[in-house]
């Protein structure tokens, strides 16, 4: 039995909430629980090796979930995706005119871009620098301050982008919650 487009749309709010919960929970848990426990209890090189395996799928899911949430949010906002694009540009020019839904949608776009940047560039580059540091440390050599500075800079930018994804998900959660009639 095939479902019509209208019937499929009845599942959209629930699907939206599910994906939003997955994104928000994943980013919160990885950032504030899992990462801190690993950092505190694992040796430095083991922690780095674990994160080098953990972060590529994490950033991929972050990007995919954000990409799913943008059109579902548009639909719940009563916009087609095509209508959203000019609103997004206008909101960037005049943020004071944005409403909560606009903030939520723009936060998701930021989350999508943040996840993609971490997935494609910052994550791999930070991991490469980290492994260079590990090699020097294992060889008993001093790590040049330039390598430490580059690692800190890349890691800091990646962490900030990760927090932007969380902020976008939280804004979208608050906005989605405001749509629910109790």
**Average pLDDT along the chain, 182 residues, taken 10 residues at a time:** 70 94 98 96 97 97 96 87 78 78 88 97 98 97 97 97 96 90 80
* Helices then strands, each counted (H, E), the chain: 8, 0
Q: What pTM was computed for the model? A: 0.90
Distance of CA 46 to the CA centre of its chain: 24
Residue 102 tokens read as 């606009």
């Amino acid at each position: 039995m095939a479902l019509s487009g209208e019937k499929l749309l009845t599942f959209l709010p629930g699907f939206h909430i599910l994906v939003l919960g997955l994104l928000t929970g994943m980013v919160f848990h990885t950032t504030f629980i899992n990462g801190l426990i690993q950092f505190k209890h694992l040796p430095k090189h083991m922690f780095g090796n674990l994160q080098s395996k953990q972060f590529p799928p994490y950033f991929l899911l972050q990007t995919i979930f954000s990409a799913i949430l943008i059109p579902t949010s548009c639909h719940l906002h009563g916009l087609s995706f095509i209508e959203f694009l000019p609103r997004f540009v206008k909101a960037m020019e005049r943020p004071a005119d944005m409403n909560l839904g606009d903030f939520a949608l723009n936060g998701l776009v930021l989350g999508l871009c943040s996840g993609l940047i971490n997935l494609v560039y910052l994550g791999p580059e930070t991991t490469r620098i980290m492994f260079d540091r590990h090699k020097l440390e294992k060889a008993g050599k001093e790590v040049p301050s330039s390598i430490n500075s580059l690692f800190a800079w890349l890691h800091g930018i990646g962490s900030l982008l990760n927090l932007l994804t969380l902020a976008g998900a939280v804004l979208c959660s608050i906005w989605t919650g405001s749509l629910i009639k109790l």
